[in-house]
Amino acid sequence: MKKLNIIMSLALAGILLVSSCASKRNLEKTTIQPSVDRSSIAKGGEKAQAESAQASQLRQQQFIQRVVDNGVYVKNIVGDMKFNLKAGSKDITVSGSLRMRKDEVIRIQLFMPLLGTEVGRLEFTPTYVLIIDRLHKEYVKADYTQLDFLQSNGLNFYSLQALFWNQLFLPGQETVADKDLSQYEVDLNAQGGSTVGLKQGNLSVSWLTESATARILSAEINYLSQKHGKSTLDWTYDDFMVVGLKQFPATQKFMFSTTATQRQQTATVTIRMNEVTIKDNWDATTKISDRYKQIAPQDILSKIMKF
């Protein structure tokens, strides 16, 4: 069949050649087709590709701006909660409260079942981390220069604040400005929604967002260090409630895994707020009793894992 097609093609070419020779008298009646400018076509294709790339970049910039704009504008977030900790064989659920004042403090208080007496407090401020164990009358207070582990992972106060407040962050910076948005990578067609990614050195962060609303649903943080090993932090958000004109996740769950304590340790914390209010009638500074014994800051990570 292939040989027959070749023969037919040659025959057809010969007929066309004979026909053209026999029609010399009609040449003046034929129309000359204009030549095709292939360079113009190529330039047109390149222009179309450039315009498509610009349009895609604009859509990404607009989307990430929507993610940033979703952040609540209030100064205080306060609410009673149920606090669950899973670490090793432990699975503990107690009542508590979450109090946050923007750029000042993140405070988690845990209460004794039935009695309602505070038994523990975990507090982050811009300058120090405080853990109070009221049962044993001990506390740990350390500034961030003493917490080499947190510093090396880019998890300073403002990074943690952004995670608790359901927002983006940049390691080492207090806020995310418009000029910083180009540092993020956006995938509008990711599985399960749209993703916003960030990579700086050994740190990588991926936020999964809802495509329709640009609301952050989860954050995955990975850090690999020769000194501290591998650390991961998976943070998820659910049960959004209206706060002002925005929405805030009443349920937050974060799983922390690290080898920085010389052995693999994993803990999962779930916070389920019964309500989300903007009450401001509380003191952002904790006063420590003289009767409490201070513990060395080197033990703070182990203390957090056992809290």
Q: Are 175 and 161 in contact (CB under 8 A)?
A: no
Residue 46 reports pLDDT greater than 70: no
Percent pLDDT > 70 in the chain is 75
Structural domain harbouring 78: 68-306
Q: Is residue 39 part of a domain?
A: no
CA distance 154 to 50: 36
How far apart (Å, rounded) are the C-alpha atoms in residues 233 and 204? 11
User: Quick check: is 101 in a domain?
Assistant: yes
Question: Rounded CA gap, 292 and 137, in Å?
Answer: 5
- Render pLDDT for 124-148 as a digit per residue (tens, 0 to 9): 999 999 999 998 999 999 887 776 5
For residue 59, is it within any domain? no
Would the pLDDT of 180 be above 80? yes
- Is residue 156, in this structure, part of any structural domain at all? yes
Residue 247 included in any domain: yes
CATH of the domain at 189: 2.50.20.10
Does 192 fall in a domain? yes
What pLDDT does 185 receive? 95
Please count the structural domains in the chain: 1
Within a domain: 41: no
* Residue pLDDT, tens place only, 214-225: 999 999 999 887
**Is the overall model pTM greater than 0.95, yes or no?**
no
Amino acid identity at 272? R
In a domain, 24, yes or no: no
pLDDT one-digit tens code per residue, 158-167: 999 999 999 9
Instruction: Name which of 118, 122, 81, 64 is nearest 249 in CA terms.
Output: 81
Mean pLDDT of the 100-125 span: 93
Burial of 78 per CB tally in 10 Å (0-12, 13-18, 19+): buried
Confidence category of residue 44, pLDDT binned at 50, 70, 90: low
Instruction: Report the DSSP beta bridge partners of residue 197.
Output: 185, 206
